[in-house]
Amino acid sequence: MKRVVVVFMLSLAAMAAGRAQQNSTVELSLSSGYVLPTSPMTFANYWTMQAGGGFTAGIAVSPSVMVLGSVEYYRYKLNTDGISKKFDTQYMRSIWIFSDVSLQPSAPISSIMTVAASVRVESPLATKIFSPYALVGAGALFSSFGEIALPTTSVLSLDGTNVAIQAQQRIVGGTETTPFIQTGLGIDARLTELLKIFIEARFAFGLSKNIGTAYVPVTAGVRLQL
């Protein structure tokens, strides 16, 4: 995976340098924001975004069309509230003979990384300051989800004595590399001749053989035109 990223970044740099020498517009962007997991259920319900961002390099092929290459990386931490809602210990206490049932889930950090090529098309409604746009792209998605440990402690009262019974369940994680596609909408706001800020919302979907990994990034950032 590291080799793929290095080759991709070197290719972007070479393309940008070549086009810059031809006096074409070259653009560099940095972004960050919130990524909402949507599927599968174990991703959407059990993980929440911790940190992340992306880097994009683009080359203008016409006044309204930009070809982009991007790398994004996001980390996720365990959503203990989401797990508690799916494994209702209060319900377990009400139907079982246990006086108390507790659950303490844990898992290592998970992550998603993408390397993508996209096309961004500026809206005809663009003005000198604001530029709405649409984009579509595809690439490779590298996902790594940690195994979730679900240790359950149940307390049984026998003749005034509490007996603790422990059980261990696990939700298996793993790593996967799949193709993915994305589409989105955004808007640029020009600050200076060379500097813009933007906000963007996309839908990304991993084309795995099983249930595809899907998420919605809502990001903001800055663009520098060279």
pLDDT for the residue 91: 57
Q: How many residues does the chain have?
A: 226
Show the low-confidence residues of the chain (pLDDT under 70): 1-24, 88-101, 154, 159-160, 163, 165
Asked if the structure places residue 133 within a domain, the reply is: yes
Do 64 and 80 touch, CB atoms closer than 8 A? Answer: no
Asked if the structure places residue 152 within a domain, the reply is: no
CATH number at residue 192: 2.40.160.20
Euclidean distance between CA atoms 179 and 141, whole angstroms: 6
Euclidean distance between CA atoms 151 and 215, whole angstroms: 28
Asked if the structure places residue 59 within a domain, the reply is: yes
Do 76 and 129 touch, CB atoms closer than 8 A? Answer: no
Question: Residue 196's Cα: distance from chain center in Å?
Answer: 23
Q: Which residues pair with 200 in a beta bridge?
A: 186, 219
pLDDT for the residue 68: 98
- The boundaries of the domain holding residue 178 are 2-78+110-143+174-225
Contacts of 82 (CB under 8 A, 6+ apart): 45, 46, 47, 48
pLDDT for the residue 209: 72
Enumerate the H helices of 22-148 as residue ranges: 41-46, 80-86, 89-95
Euclidean distance between CA atoms 144 and 135, whole angstroms: 26
Asked if the structure places residue 214 within a domain, the reply is: yes
Burial tier of 6 (Cβ tally within 10 Å: 0-12, 13-18, 19+): exposed
Asked if the structure places residue 149 within a domain, the reply is: no
For the chain, what is the domain count? 1
Euclidean distance between CA atoms 197 and 201, whole angstroms: 14
pLDDT for the residue 133: 98
Asked if the structure places residue 165 within a domain, the reply is: no
Selection from 191, 104, 194 nearest residue 149 by Cα: 104
Asked if the structure places residue 98 within a domain, the reply is: no
Asked if the structure places residue 97 within a domain, the reply is: no
